[in-house]
Amino acid sequence: MIQRYEWEQTVTKLKKVQKENDMLRGQIDMLQREADYWEHQAKYLDRTCTKLEKNTMQLEAQLKLWKGTAP
């Protein structure tokens, strides 16, 4: 049979572990939100770069036409 003192120590350890677990879960949630944010930013930048590349090609083609050096 478990002694009262041992039981109290076990309960105290359990509460400590539960508190640490909750804190770690909060950190995991925060890191997941940050990962989602940076993934969104990366996708946005990729789309922006693609648009810039397309616009650059169009502007270069227009410049060649304007200069009269188009193929």
Is residue 24 within 8 A of residue 31, CB to CB? The reply is: no
CA dist 57 and 65 (Å) reads 12
Query: Confidence class of residue 71 from pLDDT cuts 50, 70 and 90?
Result: low
Determine the Cα angle at 57 with ends 71 and 69, to 5°.
25
Would the pLDDT of 69 be above 90? no
pTM flag (> 0.85): no
Q: Which tens digits make up the pLDDT trace of 37-66?
A: 999 999 999 999 999 999 999 999 888 888
The pLDDT of residue 65 is 86
Q: What is the pLDDT of residue 2?
A: 72
Residues ≥6 apart with Cβ < 8 Å to 70? 61, 64
Mean pLDDT (whole number) for 14-28:
97
